[in-house]
A and B are shown apart, each in its own frame.
Chain A
Amino acid sequence: MNRLIKKAWINLCGATACIIIGALGVSLAVKFNVKGIVPLMSFIIAGLIAALITRLRSISTGAGFDEREKKISVRAFIISSYFFMFFMVYACFIIFFLSGARNSIPSYTLPILLLVGLFISQIIHSAMILIRFAREQADEQ
């Protein structure tokens, strides 16, 4: 199992764990009716710290990848981003047409959409990497 495949599996497990924790966080926020600028700023700061840690890790692990692996990883990211955008667009238009343009939806719908979209995006990203390597192995055989 090469480093990029390991990274794909680690990212998938990590994203799953983060989505579960995020879903629990959203459920608790709904239960306790958390609102205000302080929770928003806490979320933004936590998100920025998580993004910074992820970026620093990817720089340090990415340094060991060859050109081919970097190309596969970037391509997988671009495709997963397209899937994320398509999912979000279709989900919002489905809600728009099903509930009616003049109606309202609960505000927790948006974080749920975001969490599901991010989860799908990570699955696609990791799957693209694993499928690509599986195809190459099949071609070699």
Chain B
Amino acid sequence: MNRSQKAAWLIVITTSIALIASGTAITIFYSAFGFPKASAGLGFLGIAGIGGLARIVFKKDKGNVTVDERDNKINKRAALAGFGAAYLFVGLACMTPFFVLGPDASIKVFWLPMIFMIAGVTNFYVHSIAILVQYGKGGKENE
């Protein structure tokens, strides 16, 4: 497993744990206390930040050639997949309140940074999954 794959696994695992923990916490808090207090469950999304340490935790691969053409191609395709998913999320997040609530409605300003943070997390998550899928399709390791 090369450095990209290890980093991708770390991001996928930490983000998945963050999403599951956050979703569970919000559900439990909502049933117990109702919505404003239930948003405290969003704090568990911070677990996904551990994935950002991947480049520090996993040192550079040893050897003269650490990254080759195939790795660059896989990374570019994964970046495109990540951007595509983020675009899709941002598009839906921008248009859904407009249609569901109506043009005369208003939304709280704090949702704006939330939308783009979630889009960022979506980008990294899909990027990592795309890396793992492509390496998995092409064979086990890049030796």
Contacts and interface: CB of A to CB of B under 8 A. Distances in A.
Given A33-B102, A78-B83, A105 B97 contact: no
B108 interface: yes
B87 interface: yes
Given A39-B99, A77-B80, A92-B115, A106 B106 contact: yes
Interface in A5-47: 26, 29-30, 33-37, 39-40, 43-44, 47
A78 B80 contact: yes
B128 to A, nearest CB: 17
Contacts of B99: 29, 34-37, 39-40, 43
A36 B115 CA distance: 21
Interface size class of A (residues with CB under 8 A): 35 or more
Contact of A107 (B79, B98, B116): B98
A92 B116 CA distance: 8
Nearest to B100: A40
Given A88-B90, A104-B109, A81 B83 contact: yes
Nearest to A39: B99
Interface size class of B (residues with CB under 8 A): 20 to 34
Given A96-B112, A103-B109, A108 B79 contact: no
B103 A74 contact: no
B116 A88 contact: yes
A74 B95 contact: no
Interface in B73-108: 76, 79-80, 83, 86-87, 90-108
Interface string B108-143: 111011011001100100000000000000000000
A40 B105 CA distance: 15
Contacts of A106: 103-106
Nearest to A77: B80
A119 interface: no
Interface of B: 76, 79-80, 83, 86-87, 90-110, 112-113, 115-116, 119-120, 123
Interface of A: 26, 29-30, 33-37, 39-40, 43-44, 47, 74, 77-78, 81, 84-85, 88-89, 92-93, 95-96, 99-108, 110-111, 113-114, 117
